[in-house]
Amino acid sequence: MAKVKLATVWLDGCSGCHMSLLDMDESLAAIAKKVDIVYGPLVDAQEFPEGVDVTLVEGAVSSVEDMKLIQLIRQRSKMIVALGDCAVTSNVPSMRNSIPVKKLLNRIYCEAVTAQPGIPSDGVPSLLRHAVPVHEVVKVDLHVPGCPPKADAIAFVLTELLEGRKPDLASKVKFG
Amino acid sequence: MSQKVSIRIDGELISATQGQTILEVARASGKYIPALCYMEGITPVGACRLCIVEVAGVNRLLPSCTTPVQDGMSVTTNSKKLQLYRRMILELLFAERNHVCAVCVSNGHCELQALAQKLGVTNVRFAYSYPKWNADVSHERFVLDHNRCVLCTRCVRACDELEGAHVWDVGMRGVNSRIICELNAAWGESTECTSCGKCVHVCPTGALAEKGRAVEEMVKRDDRITRLAMRKGGR
């Protein structure tokens, strides 16, 4: 049987959800036999490939780059799983949302520093007005809240998906 | 002498006393109806609408915490329709303010968070409003963070009915409604507040908390406030 093409992506988040993914202990070995990880911080691929079966998305959509990437991911993935509170609710990244971007950057990079004040523009994508949850931008097939989601919950989700079932997460996961 | 009545809850025949509410009778007979603004010991107001039930012959949903039982009443506490509305209510509460569970003092001890888990809310389908709210940190021992408030008014009622101080009220209109101290003063400058902390412990979320608590550290003891209310002869 062909292996399932799994991608992971790290948008505006802290990588904690990826840590939780790696924390699945022996479940990881069983799952690893059935999947090929084709994109994400855990592998080397430079471009998001076509024909991906499942993409786990960590983080909120916060910058122009996040926005482009998530739209490409939607085109090229059969299924998108919002993994963790940032992807599901926009969580901590959303705490900047009530402050206008210009004011925010000015405060952090100009007013609050003494050495080389100035808003960075080279090599960093510009911020969107709001950091938003993934489902406000593209269709999300499954939400797995948690900060981070427990390794057991991620293992349950992946195991169920690999068995061809849609995992029923009711009362298994919580925000925060 | 109080009059006995018979009602059916989810088909089961239950005897109750005239004047009791549907929620009281249901809970006393071990049936679960979700509720957020309701707290045993203080007057129910039907603010959150999570405890809505279906009553046979009534073509709208009724809040069980404020609806008194009537003889022969037939109540349904759980159905597809009720689940749908309860879910929507919770989602709207999350969308209305900035509930960031991950960095909240009440993470893991929050009634809103627990209800979301219990009712299977894994995401919010409504657009978040990201309003700009501040926190009142002027009190020596406590803090009020409007970002986490669900306007259940438990603090308003506990302060008025149990402490007798009536420091809290709801001010402003519509989405700008918020808990205010006295006539919209800073909490720290309140002349009525006795600093008893009852409001903090009846608050279902992290909106009212003790100062100096870190994430997950604020455990509320609303059970103690209920016991106190019962001793004072509360309902």
Whether residue A167 is contained in a domain is answered as: no
* Helix, strand, or coil (residue A147): coil
Give the strands of the sheet with A52-58, arranged side by side. A35-39, A4-10, A52-58, A77-83, A142-144
Domain span at residue A137 reads 4-95+129-162
Chain A residues near residue B128 by CB distance under 8 angstroms: 89-90, 94, 97, 132-133
- The β-bridge relationship of strands B62-63 and B52-55 is antiparallel
Whether residue A20 is contained in a domain is answered as: yes
Q: B63 has which bridge partners?
A: B52
Helix ranges (H only) for B80-150 are 80-96, 111-118
Q: Do B113 and A143 touch (CB under 8 A)?
A: no
Q: How far is A46 from chain B (nearest CA, A)?
A: 31
| Closest Cβ–Cβ partner in A91, A98, A173 for B122 | A173
Q: What is the total count of domains within chain A?
A: 1
* Helix, strand, or coil (residue A151): helix
Q: How far is B159 from chain A (nearest CA, A)?
A: 30
Whether residue A107 is contained in a domain is answered as: no
Whether residue A50 is contained in a domain is answered as: yes
Is A162 part of the contact surface with chain B (CB cutoff 8 Å)?
Answer: no
What's the confidence (pLDDT) of residue B233? 73
* Helix, strand, or coil (residue A134): helix
Chain A residues near residue B102 by CB distance under 8 angstroms: 85, 91-92, 147, 175-176
What's the confidence (pLDDT) of residue A1? 67
Q: Domains of chain B by range and CATH?
A: 4-78 (3.10.20.740), 84-231 (3.30.70.20)
**d(C-alpha B119, C-alpha B216), whole Å:** 22
Give the strands of the sheet with B62-63, arranged side by side. B12-17, B4-9, B74-76, B52-55, B62-63
Q: How far is B155 from chain A (nearest CA, A)?
A: 24
CB neighbourhood size of A133 (10 A)? 26
Mean pLDDT by 10 residues, chain A (176 residues): 93 97 94 96 95 98 98 98 98 96 95 92 93 98 97 96 93 91
Chain A residues near residue B123 by CB distance under 8 angstroms: 82, 88-89, 133, 135, 140, 143, 145
Closest CA to A128 of A60, A61, A63: A63
Is A150 part of the contact surface with chain B (CB cutoff 8 Å)?
Answer: no
Which pair of structure tokens corresponds to residue B218? 């604020």
What's the confidence (pLDDT) of residue B227? 94
Whether residue A37 is contained in a domain is answered as: yes
| Closest Cβ–Cβ partner in B99, B107, B127 for A136 | B127
ipTM: 0.93
Helix ranges (H only) for chain A are 16-22, 26-32, 64-76, 85-89, 101-106, 151-162
Chain A residues near residue B103 by CB distance under 8 angstroms: 92, 95
Q: A120 has which bridge partners?
A: none
CB B159 within 8 A of CB B211: no
B229 membership: H or E segment, kind and range: helix B222-231
| Closest Cβ–Cβ partner in B101, B117, B133 for A171 | B117
The count of CB pairs under 8 A between chains A and B is: 76
Q: Do B122 and A145 touch (CB under 8 A)?
A: yes
What's the confidence (pLDDT) of residue B235? 53
Q: How far is A93 from chain B (nearest CA, A)?
A: 10
A6 membership: H or E segment, kind and range: strand A4-10
CATH number, domain of A68, equals: 3.40.50.700
Q: List the single best residue of B83, B100, B216 to mutate versus A (max A Cβ within 10 A).
A: B100
Chain A residues near residue B107 by CB distance under 8 angstroms: 176
Residue-wise pLDDT tens for chain B (235 aa)? 589 999 999 999 999 999 999 999 999 999 999 999 999 999 999 999 999 999 999 999 999 999 999 999 999 999 999 999 999 999 999 999 999 999 999 999 999 999 999 999 999 999 999 999 999 999 999 999 999 999 999 999 999 999 999 999 999 999 999 999 999 999 999 999 999 999 999 999 999 999 999 999 999 999 999 999 999 875 5
What's the confidence (pLDDT) of residue B216? 95
Burial B198-227 (b: 16+ CB within 10 A, else e): bbbbbbbbbbbbbeeeeebebebebeebbe
Q: Please enumerate in sequence order all residues whose Cβ is within 8 A of that of A176, keeping only pairs 6 or more positions apart, or say none.
A: A85, A146, A147, B101, B102, B104, B107, B108, B110, B113
DSSP states of B83-103 as a string?
Answer: HHHHHHHHHHHHHHTT--GGG
Is A139 part of the contact surface with chain B (CB cutoff 8 Å)?
Answer: no
Chain A residues near residue B113 by CB distance under 8 angstroms: 174-176
Is A50 part of the contact surface with chain B (CB cutoff 8 Å)?
Answer: no
